[in-house]
Chain A
Amino acid sequence: MADSTTTIGYTGRLEDEPIITRLDAAVDWVRKNSLWPMPMGLACCAIELMSTAASRFDISRFGAEVMRFSPRQSDLMVVAGTVTYKMALAVKRIWDQMPDPKWCIAMGACASTGGMYRSYAVLQGVDKILPVDVYVSGCPPRPEALLDALIKLQTKISREPGLKNLKKAPAASAT
């Protein structure tokens, strides 16, 4: 292993030699390390989401720092906050505008289950309108919890049979 005298650098082997792997693994590896989040910030969880993106927690360590405010450029929706019924169909429409493949993290109690809002105004969990990959508990969750969810999602993506999904009709993964 490296000690203080070892020089670590680029070897050039990557360019000279072929890498043998499964295509699935390569595609998943590319995808999971460059997730472009759609920050669906709806309530106080959005503050923690911003904090996760800022310097102290630095979500770019996991390759997910490119927050896109256009659904057409993003592939990970982070639903951060209370989804009211008034907002629900707008969230659904934004989700529908995101190109496949796409994933969703339900951040916090409200997005996961409606949280403390057992009321006429709040959707009881965003999974009623779109498929959720990872749920994060907390009210709001700390940035570490969101990063953990991101790592869990990366693990999940790395197991995905990407090629099989490519051949499937896109509608099959949309609901």
Chain B
Amino acid sequence: MAIALAAINSLTKRFGDKVRSPVAFSDKVMGRDEMSVTVAREVIAEACALLKQEPALAFDFLVDISGVDNYDANPRFRVDYLLYSYKTNAWLRLKVGVPEEDATVPSVAKVWRGAEWHERECYDMFGIRFTGHPDLRRILMWEGYPFHALRKDFPLEGKPSNVPEVAFTEAAPLQGGPFVTVPAGRAGEREPRVRENALAADVRDKTKGS
């Protein structure tokens, strides 16, 4: 925690109010004591470089980059960076808000090479473009696939598409709703099936207006 606070202090010193709202998270049972901080989009690459290069902080390991789609919120997307330091055993989480109309974020691939694939996945699933990325291609779906599958307005069952000679997709039959599993003692009750409290697919789509 002390290292994370020091990291946030040096970020604030360098970037001023572009670093906002630090949030502490602790869990005595799990022994977790972590900080999250929101960083402005335009300085994220410099902030990461600072956190890695400052000898006292030395966040040398980028654990993950994840995209978040808060469908109705503004800004719609968020990109989270989870950092770890092997030297100081400290964790730090950086959050970056990304508006839908300009879904771009500076790439941190120059700071940690491992960010390349994380950013490609984030681009593939959410359509967030990383500027300055050396090779921003889709990583799971194929080039030409027209959708970004983890966006909230993308249906679970998928949409039809076709790239000749490469791949096609069809909507999967959901037969009235997403299949859900519930915790239960007997395996038979845990089986995934359409539940009464789950909205039927057509009702769900109507409420979304899509």
Task: Provide the B177-210 mask, 1 if CB < 8 A to any CB of A, else 0.
Answer: 0110000000000001000000000000000000
Q: B167, A116: Cβ atoms under 8 Å? A: no
Closest chain B residue, CB of each to CB of A128? B170
Is A10 on the interface with B (CB-CB < 8 A)? no
Q: Inside 8 A of B147's CB, which chain A residues have their CB?
A: 120
> Taking the nearest CB of chain A, how far is it from the CB of B50, in angstroms?
38
Query: Residue B152 at the A interface, CB < 8 A?
Result: no
Q: Are B142 and A120 in contact (CB under 8 A)?
A: no
Residue in contact with A85 in the complex, picked from B154, B167, B178, CB distance below 8 Å = B167
Q: A118, B173: Cβ atoms under 8 Å?
A: yes
Q: Which of chain B's residues have a CB closer than 8 A to the CB of A124? A: 170, 172-173
Q: How many residues of A are in contact with the other chain, CB < 8 A?
A: 14
Residues of A75-123 contacting chain B, CB below 8 A: 85-86, 88-89, 114, 116-122
Collect the chain A residues with CB atoms within 8 Å of residue B168's CB: 85, 88-89
Is residue B174 contacting chain A, with contact meaning CB distance below 8 A? Answer: yes
Tell me whether B167 and A118 are in contact (CB under 8 A): no
Residue ID in chain A nearest B181 by CB atoms: A116
Asked if residues A120 and B167 are in contact (CB atoms below 8 Å), the reply is no
Closest 7 pairs between A and B when the two form their complex, measured CB to CB: A120-B158, A118-B172, A85-B169, A85-B167, A120-B149, A86-B167, A124-B172
Interface residues of B (CB under 8 A from A): 140-142, 147, 149, 154-159, 165-170, 172-174, 178-179, 192
